[in-house]
Amino acid sequence: MGTLVPLSDASRRPTHFPVTTALIIVVNVVVFIEELIRGDAFVMAWSVVPADIVAGHHWITILTAMFMHGGWLHIIGNMVFFWAFGPEIEDAMGSARYLIFYLVGGFVAMLAQVAASPHSTVPNLGASGAIAAVMGAFLVTYPRDRMKSLLVIFIFVRITFIPAALLIGVWFLIQLWNAGSVATVQTGGVAYLAHVGGFIFGAATARFVEDPIRIAEN
């Protein structure tokens, strides 16, 4: 069994420190610690339940659920993926626009999942949909970049360099094929349609949000 984990963009480095990306990661970690302390009641209260959203209740959970995770592997995997793709997109958009893009991408992703299962009472949670939007933006912005990635096949571990278009493209096809999470961690929170929705949003809107001058600087 093998896995491929993107670590960073090997073709460029951000010209500005990714403040927003770092802060989002910190918020995710703080919220996860709160989940561990307060338990299932906290998770149920702030996760998205599609049936509740359709009924017009608890809309705030579409926002709060973006910062929650179902376990250690879920949050670690998502944050590793986020740090691999986020800094360059933040650099291309600017911190303020990037934050709005991230939140709207996560919102669209959650709505896509609600639309897919409008009567479900299973709580949905995770940053996966918003991160998928960032990955969609990365694909249309820097498709020729090479991603420094960790390749693990059984006990064989090595660092390799994969074209971003190939890595993200294969990931997207997997999302279309079956349910999964951004970090290849299967959890009951965010299903594949959330990833597809977030990714399509990111790919379709990135060029309208990005700053051409910033991209030229890179």
pLDDT digits (tens, 9 = 90+) for 189-202: 446 788 889 999 99
Domain locations along the chain: 2-217
Q: Is the pLDDT of residue 183 over 50?
A: no
Q: Which tens digit of pLDDT belongs to each residue from 36-94?
A: 999 999 999 999 999 999 999 999 999 999 999 988 988 999 999 999 999 999 999 99
> Residue 171: in which H helix or E strand, if any?
helix 164-177
What is the mean pLDDT of the segment spanning 162-176?
A: 88
Q: Considering only the top CATH level, what class is 2-217?
A: mainly alpha
Residue 178 clears pLDDT 60, i.e. is over it: no
Q: Could you give the C-alpha distances from 28 to 11, 34, 127, in angstroms and in order?
A: 27, 10, 8
pTM: 0.90
With 60 as the cut, is the pLDDT of residue 108 above it?
A: yes
Q: Percentage of the chain with pLDDT > 70?
A: 91
> For position 176, what pLDDT does the model report?
74
pLDDT above 60 (res 181): no
- Confidence at residue 184, expressed as pLDDT on a 0 to 100 scale: 43
Q: Provide CB contacts within 8 A for 173, sequence distance 6+.
A: none
DSSP tag of 67: G
73: Cβ–Cβ under 8 A, 6 or more apart, which residues?
183, 185
Per-residue pLDDT at 6: 92
